[in-house]
Amino acid sequence: MAAITLLEAVKQGLWEEMERDKNVFILGEDVGEYGGAFKVTDGFLKQFGADRVIDTPISESAIVGAACGAAMMGLRPVAEMQFIDFISCCFDMLTNYAAKSRYRQGIGIPMVVRGPCGGGVHGGPFHSQNVEAFFLNTPGLKMVEPSTPYDAKGLIKAAIRDDDPVLFFEHKLLYRNPKIKQEVPDDDYLVPIGKAATRREGRDLSIITYGAMVYTALDAAAALAKEGIEAEIVDLRTLAPFDREAVCETVKKTSKIMILHEATRTGGMAGELTAVINEEVFEYLDAPVVRVTSIDTPVPYAPPLEEFFLPQVEDVLKAARALVKY
């Protein structure tokens, strides 16, 4: 096993699924000749040909619409959004067509819509969003956001094999981060959709998070440990359907909960998680659930403003200390 980046892990998963199943194909802007804006599909055109690696016009609604039709005819398309922000252009196809197809007419749409999300790279307001909350209110869509190379490969393979539409978010800050390189098996494996992972055991409080914020949480937990505070870190991995059992178990274990995510606060994942905790394990809480998120503004371009906008380790430390003392 070789240590690889998260980007390489996604690439490996896609490649293996293309080799395994001739019905899998890729479509999107610049995915063929150029190899993708971030080079995830570099080399795919030469290996699999233009019938299975399709360069499209700049029209996200057309990309997803074509993918829906192909999926209904028995293929398994993987549609790339060059930046996940532009998934809003195909909102109607995803929410009113793909998500409802199995319910309305008994036909599944086995497609994946994947792309880079997140800030921290000074991409500005149109190339830095986290869009999960847009779709959280849409039954029929699954959403995945891996934080490790191992999970990225296993989850992209699981998403491709799923018989319903999966939105697959890849945080661009993690793509080539050498600090998170990980040994990944060469053999075929899947990471199940809908299952969280505990990244760090703890007793004093729990931090529930996902994506790049997993590493913010881990850095904060290391600092807290020096103060005698042991934080448990739960990585959701799947955002819809999220792992309710894992969430409730960590509440029962530590009784103090922080929910950390990079997306803006209002209407975000943290609110839904908090509601579930209140409904199912309220009696185990020893303090109110705390949210640490980005603020309710568009993502700034200027580096100092973006840093202020995004949750930082110090923000987590401040909230954790207050939570422990409550």
CB 243 within 8 A of CB 193: no
DSSP string, 304-325: HHHHHHS--HHHHHHHHHHHHH
DSSP string, 133-158: HHHTT-TT-EEE---SHHHHHHHHHH
Entry field: residues in the chain: 326
In whole angstroms, how large is the CA radius of gyration of the chain?
19
Active site residue 127: yes
CB 287 within 8 A of CB 274: no
Burial annotation 149-171 (CB, 10 A radius, 16+ → b, else e): bbbbbbbbbbbbbbebbbbbbbb
CB 132 within 8 A of CB 269: yes
Among the listed residues 122, 127, 171, 261, the single catalytic one is 127
DSSP bridge pairs for 115:
169
CB 192 within 8 A of CB 166: no
CB 260 within 8 A of CB 232: no
Location of structure tokens 């869509």: 141
Query: Distance between terminal CA atoms of the chain?
Result: 45
Distance of CA 82 to the CA centre of its chain: 15
Structure tokens at 88: 């809003």
- Identify the DSSP state of 224: H
Report the catalytic residues: 127
